[in-house]
Amino acid sequence: MADAEDPKNKPPRIRGRGAAKLAPPTARASGTVRASNEELEVLNEALRDAGIPVTLAAAEVRVPDPPETAETHDGCLPKIPSIYRDGYAEIMARHPLQILLEAIQDGGNRRGWSDNNGQTPPHYYARTQRGAGACIVSVQPATGGFLTDDVLRNLWEKVQALDDLTSDVFLYCLARLTPNGMGLNPVAVTADAILDARGVQPIRKRGEPANWQHGHRSEDRMLVGRALAQLRDVWLELQNINPAPLAKGRVSPISVRSVALVMTDIAERPGPDGQPIFLGAMVTAGSWARAYSESGLPYQTTLLAQKALAYHPNKEQVEKRLTKYLPFQFRFNAKHETPSLRRSVRELLDSAGVRPNELNPERTRKRLEEGLDRLKCDGVIADWHYAEDNTSLPARGWVPRWLEWRIVLTPSLEVEAFHETRRQEAKRYRELAATKANGMAHAAGAKQPRLLR
């Protein structure tokens, strides 16, 4: 009776229309094993060494059941396949999505965020496509109503709670959504699968077989649930965004405002203190994904290295944020014949969330170079170096000129091959579209009657 009242023994609570997909766990029967005399002698010797005055003589020895595996733990949640293939995950690559990641990562220090002197909810505004379009990331109240001081204060607290874990969870969801309809189809995500993708080790107990799994710690699962809950309050607004700025001909711009990520069918389990522990959910992209899909243009994707989620958010923040920044840049650069990417020191520092140390700028320079060396060592990039045409630095006051220096980054062989394949596919698509357009124009011209003079 006491076991039935223990919160740990309660089945998970499943909410949402898709609750039937998450069935309760089935009980497993315990069993016994018949031990040989040699095995009994080994067990008795172990008991004597441990100082336990018990001698086993029975023919049957009770064997404890292994703990629940991640597949059967907490309500038979679906087994989520790994998002990685050869160390990379394919994700959608659109400039507004990179702006969204930057806004999330800058939420903690409020850099780039504003509320127009208390007139609007907190938002992150960025121009794109040479000023022709704009992307606005905002945190909106769950319910409508007036923007009072208390509501605004609560929204700013949500903004400052955004961090690298929030962007990690968003990138994981993006990697799950990309191969499943580019965000149009809902997919299942679980806390354990997200933690596995981030390289967080599950619970291990000394002396247990290596194949016994206890799942992940409750506090880690709760952090994942908190990050997903944060994303439900983040909105993405696109204003006059051209889905294919390099395409020839007229392409209708996109203007849409939607939540960044939609989460439904939430599975939770009561924790020991009564707080719900997040287990899994169904997620889908907001209506911004449908707007891109309805443009009728080829999808743009890139490869995200596993290290983007595995790097430590505090100790390895420079490496982590650069690894999230570069996949989008390599994709945007794929239109050029050369795979190498040229970016200024200022751009790389901004993407890494690093401000130059005015008292000791050499420390900033050393940290950036160490971070790039680490990316090369881990295979995130193939190589990097300062551009040869950079002007020399003066002995004093060299920081402003150094910030304008260009750095050449070479993608890994896997990323280079991926984007070369996509570039050739885009080239064939443009040739096919041009041939189709010429054929339609020729057919239309042939149908026109000749005018009699």
**Mean local confidence (pLDDT), 164-180:** 96
The amino acid that residue 406 corresponds to is R
**pTM for the whole structure:** 0.79
Residue 266 has pLDDT above 50, yes or no: yes
Residue 326 DSSP class? H
Give the Cα separation of 382 and 401 in Å (integer): 26
pLDDT tens digit string along 381-406? 999 999 999 999 999 999 999 999 99
User: Six-digit token pair at 121?
Assistant: 């909810």
Nearest to 130 by CA among 255, 241, 238: 241
Which residues have C-beta within 8 Å of that of residue 168, sequence separation ≥ 6? 194, 198, 227, 308, 309, 313
The C-alpha atoms of residue 241 and residue 138 are separated, in whole angstroms, by 17
> If you average pLDDT over every residue of the chain, what do you get?
83
Alpha-carbon distance values, 370 to 135, 171, 178, 263, 320 (Å): 32, 25, 32, 38, 13
Domain limits, the chain: 1-15+70-204+213-310, 16-69, 312-436
Handedness of CA 408, 409, 410, 415 (dihedral sign): negative
Q: Per mean pLDDT, which range of 138-142, 227-231, 366-370, 436-440 is the poorest?
A: 436-440
CA–CA separation, 401 and 419 (whole Å) = 32
Query: What is the per-residue pLDDT across 290-337, written as a single tens digit (0 to 9) for each?
Result: 998 888 777 789 999 999 999 999 999 999 999 999 999 999 998 887
Q: Spelled out in words, what is the top-level CATH class assigned to the domain 312-436?
A: mainly alpha
3-class secondary structure, 189: strand
How high is the pLDDT of residue 79?
Answer: 84
Backbone angles phi, psi at 423, to 5 degrees: -65, -40
- CA–CA separation, 35 vs 292, rounded Å? 64
Give the integer Cα–Cα distance in Å for 270 and 238.
39
